[in-house]
C-alpha cells in the first residue's frame, strides 16, 4: 500500500498539538492508551458542536430538518443510492427487515460471529435467525456456510462487514439471486469500506449503518442510517422510521411505523464527519500498516485484507492462542484492548429463550477465544502506537 506521507506528517502534527480532553500523562512510563478514540474525536469537534447546537436551537426544528436532509442527500450522491437517517444501527436492521416483508416463520441467515444487534433485529420481526460460520482469517460470513443453511423458509441474508471489511458480496449476491433472497448488509463497522471499488451498503437491497458515537463516524449518542436502491424500499423505510407517515403529511399514517429518527444535532455532527471520513479511514489504514509491519516476525496473525477490498479497520484484530495473556500483559503496561465479541450469538443466553437455529460453526468456535482488538483510531498518538508495538513485541519476545 502506498501511503501519502505528507498527509500522515500533517496529521501527526495536528494531533500532538490537540488540547487534552482526558488528562493524559506526559510521562512515558505512565502511558494510558484507551481502547477507543471517539472521546478525543468529539473533543476535537467541541467548538463545531457548540455552533451546530446553536443552529438547531435557532433553526426551530430538532428532527428531520435541513441537517438531516443534507446528510441524506450528500450520502446518497456520494454512494449513488438513497439514504434514510435513523435512530440506530439496530433500528436500521429491524426496519429494513420489516420493509422487506420479513416476518414470522421466515428464516434469516446471519453470521454466528457478530454484534448481538444483528440477530435481535431478526427476533424483533419474529423471524428465526440462523447462525452460520465465518471464514478463517477474515472472520466474515462464509458463503459456503450460507449456501448450506438455505431452506425453503429462508427469506433473507444479513451479511455483516465485520471489523471494517466488506464480506464476499459477489458470492452472497449470487446465492441470493439463485434462491430469491433479500440481501441486507450490516455496515455498522464498515463506513466507506469498499469491494471492487464500490462502498459497503450499495450491494444488497438494504445497507444498515450505525452512527453510534464509537463507530468510524458517529454522533453524540445513538444514530443510524439505511441505504437503499429501490424507490419502494425508500418509501417503506421512510414510513417505518416515522410512524407510518410520508414526509409531506404528518397526520396521515399509512402503515405501522416506529419512532426512529435521527436528531438534527447528530445529523449536523455526522454531515461534518462525512467530509472527514476518507481522511480518517486512511489514517486507520496507515496505523494498521505500521502494526502489520511491526508484528511481521511475531507468532500472531494480523488482519487479512482480502483482494479487491479496502478495509476501514473499525477494529484491528489479531489472532493468537495467547490472546487473554496478551491482553493482561498490555493492560499492565497501560494499554487497553477489547474482545469484540467474547460470546458468539449461539452462546448468548438471550437466544436460549428465543427462536433460532444454530448451524455448526467450528471456525467461529475455534477462533473467537483467540481474537483481540488492539487500539487503532485516527486520534491515536504516535507514541501510543509505539507503546502498543513495544508491548506486543515484549510479550512475545519476553
Ligand X SMILES: *Cc1c(COP(=O)(O)O)cnc(C)c1O
186 lines the binding site for ligand X (CB under 6 A): yes
What is the DSSP secondary-structure string of 156-219? EEEEE-GGG----HHHHHHHHHHHT-EEEEE-TT-TT-EETTEETTSSSSEEEEE--TTSSS--
Reading the block at residue 201, the C-alpha cell is: 451498503
Q: Smallest gap, in angstroms, from Cβ of residue 97 to ligand X?
A: 13
Binding mask 32-71 for ligand X (x = CB under 6 A): ----------------------------------------
291 lines the binding site for ligand X (CB under 6 A): no
Which of these, 88, 86, 122, lies nearest to 106 by C-alpha position?
A: 122
Question: Diameter of the chain by CA atoms?
Answer: 68
> With contact defined as beta carbons under 8 Å apart, do 330 and 392 qualify?
yes
User: Cα(7)–Cα(3) distance, rounded to whole angstroms?
Assistant: 8
Report CA-CA distances (Å) from 278 to 187, 217, 283, 311, 383.
Answer: 16, 11, 9, 12, 23
263 lines the binding site for ligand X (CB under 6 A): no
Q: Smallest gap, in angstroms, from Cβ of residue 55 to ligand X?
A: 24
Q: What are the contacts of 67-74 at 24+ separation with CB within 8 A?
A: 67/264, 67/265, 67/267, 67/268, 67/271, 68/261, 68/262, 68/264, 68/267, 70/267, 70/271, 71/225, 71/262, 71/267, 71/270, 71/271, 71/274, 72/225, 74/271, 74/274
Indicate the SS3 state at residue 258: coil
Alpha-carbon torsion angle 190, 221, 110, 341, nearest 10: 90
**Contacting residue, 88, 263, 337, 346, with ligand X by CB under 6 A:** 88
Q: Smallest gap, in angstroms, from Cβ of residue 172 to ligand X?
A: 15
Residues 6+ apart with CB under 8 A from 391: 329, 330, 333, 335
> With contact defined as beta carbons under 8 Å apart, do 194 and 200 qualify?
yes
**Contacting residue, 71, 84, 95, 117, with ligand X by CB under 6 A:** 117
139 lines the binding site for ligand X (CB under 6 A): no
Reading the block at residue 94, the C-alpha cell is: 429491524
188 lines the binding site for ligand X (CB under 6 A): yes
Residues 6+ apart with CB under 8 A from 398: none
Q: Smallest gap, in angstroms, from Cβ of residue 57 to ligand X?
A: 25
216 lines the binding site for ligand X (CB under 6 A): no
175 versus 225: smaller Cβ distance to ligand X:
225
Q: Smallest gap, in angstroms, from Cβ of residue 103 to ligand X?
A: 20
128 lines the binding site for ligand X (CB under 6 A): no
Stretch that binds ligand X, among 61-69, 83-91, 323-331, 375-383 (CB under 6 A): 83-91
> With contact defined as beta carbons under 8 Å apart, do 314 and 189 qualify?
yes
210 lines the binding site for ligand X (CB under 6 A): yes
Stretch that binds ligand X, among 21-29, 72-80, 110-118, 389-397 (CB under 6 A): 110-118
317 lines the binding site for ligand X (CB under 6 A): no
**Contacting residue, 52, 131, 212, 351, with ligand X by CB under 6 A:** 212
**Contacting residue, 37, 89, 129, 204, with ligand X by CB under 6 A:** 89
User: Cα(64)–Cα(214) distance, rounded to whole angstroms?
Assistant: 23
114 lines the binding site for ligand X (CB under 6 A): yes
Q: Is the peptide bond before 341 cis (omega within 30 degrees of 0)?
A: yes
Binding mask 140-169 for ligand X (x = CB under 6 A): --------------------x---------
205 lines the binding site for ligand X (CB under 6 A): no
Stretch that binds ligand X, among 98-106, 111-119, 198-206, 233-241 (CB under 6 A): 111-119
219 lines the binding site for ligand X (CB under 6 A): no
| Binding residues with ligand X: total (CB under 6 A) | 15
64 versus 110: smaller Cβ distance to ligand X:
110
Binding mask 220-259 for ligand X (x = CB under 6 A): --x-x-----------------------------------
270 lines the binding site for ligand X (CB under 6 A): no
The residues that touch ligand X, with contacts defined as CB under 6 A, are 88-90, 114-115, 117-118, 160, 186, 188-189, 210, 212, 222, 224
Amino acid at each position: 500500500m502506498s501511503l501519502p506521507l505528507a498527509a500522515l506528517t500533517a496529521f501527526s502534527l495536528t494531533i500532538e498539538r490537540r488540547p487534552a480532553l482526558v488528562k493524559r500523562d506526559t510521562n512515558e512510563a505512565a502511558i494510558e492508551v484507551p481502547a477507543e478514540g471517539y472521546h478525543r474525536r468529539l473533543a476535537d469537534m467541541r467548538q463545531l458542536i457548540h455552533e451546530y447546537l446553536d443552529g438547531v436551537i435557532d433553526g426551530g426544528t430538532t428532527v428531520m430538518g435541513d441537517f438531516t436532509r443534507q446528510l441524506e442527500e450528500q450520502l446518497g450522491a456520494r454512494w449513488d443510492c438513497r439514504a434514510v437517517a435513523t435512530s440506530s444501527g439496530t433500528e436500521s436492521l429491524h426496519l429494513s427487515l420489516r420493509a422487506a416483508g420479513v416476518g414470522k416463520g421466515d428464516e434469516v441467515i446471519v453470521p454466528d460471529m457478530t454484534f448481538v444487534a444483528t440477530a435481535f433485529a431478526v427476533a424483533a420481526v419474529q423471524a428465526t435467525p440462523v447462525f452460520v460460520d465465518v471464514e478463517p482469517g477474515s472472520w466474515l460470513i462464509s458463503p459456503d456456510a450460507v449456501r448450506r443453511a438455505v431452506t425453503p423458509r429462508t427469506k433473507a441474508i444479513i451479511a455483516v462487514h465485520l471489523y471494517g471489511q466488506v464480506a464476499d458480496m459477489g458470492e452472497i449476491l449470487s446465492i441470493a439471486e439463485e434462491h430469491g433472497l433479500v440481501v441486507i448488509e450490516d455496515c455498522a463497522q464498515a463506513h466507506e469500506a469498499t469491494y471492487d471499488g464500490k462502498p459497503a451498503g450499495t450491494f444488497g437491497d438494504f445497507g444498515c449503518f450505525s452512527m453510534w458515537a464509537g463507530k468510524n463516524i458517529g454522533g453524540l449518542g445513538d444514530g443510524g442510517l439505511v441505504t437503499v436502491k429501490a424507490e419502494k424500499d425508500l418509501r417503506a423505510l421512510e414510513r417505518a422510521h416515522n410512524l407510518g407517515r410520508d414526509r409531506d403529511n404528518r397526520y396521515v399514517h399509512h402503515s405501522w411505523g416506529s419512532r426512529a429518527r435521527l436528531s438534527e444535532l447528530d445529523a449536523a455532527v455526522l454531515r461534518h464527519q462525512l467530509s472527514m471520513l476518507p481522511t480518517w479511514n486512511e489514517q486507520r489504514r496507515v496505523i494498521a500498516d505500521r502494526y502489520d509491519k511491526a508484528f511481521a516476525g511475531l507468532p500472531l496473525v494480523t488482519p487479512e485484507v482480502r483482494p479487491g477490498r479496502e478495509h476501514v479497520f473499525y477494529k484491528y484484530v489479531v489472532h493468537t492462542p495467547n490472546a487473554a495473556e496478551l491482553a493482561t500483559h498490555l493492560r499492565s503496561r497501560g494499554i487497553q484492548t477489547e474482545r469484540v465479541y467474547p460470546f458468539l450469538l449461539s452462546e448468548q443466553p438471550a437466544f436460549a429463550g428465543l427462536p433460532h437455529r444454530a448451524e455448526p460453526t467450528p471456525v467461529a468456535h475455534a477462533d473467537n477465544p483467540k481474537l483481540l482488538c488492539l487500539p487503532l483510531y485516527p486520534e491515536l498518538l504516535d507514541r501510543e502506537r509505539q507503546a502498543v508495538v513495544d508491548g506486543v513485541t515484549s510479550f512475545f519476545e519476553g
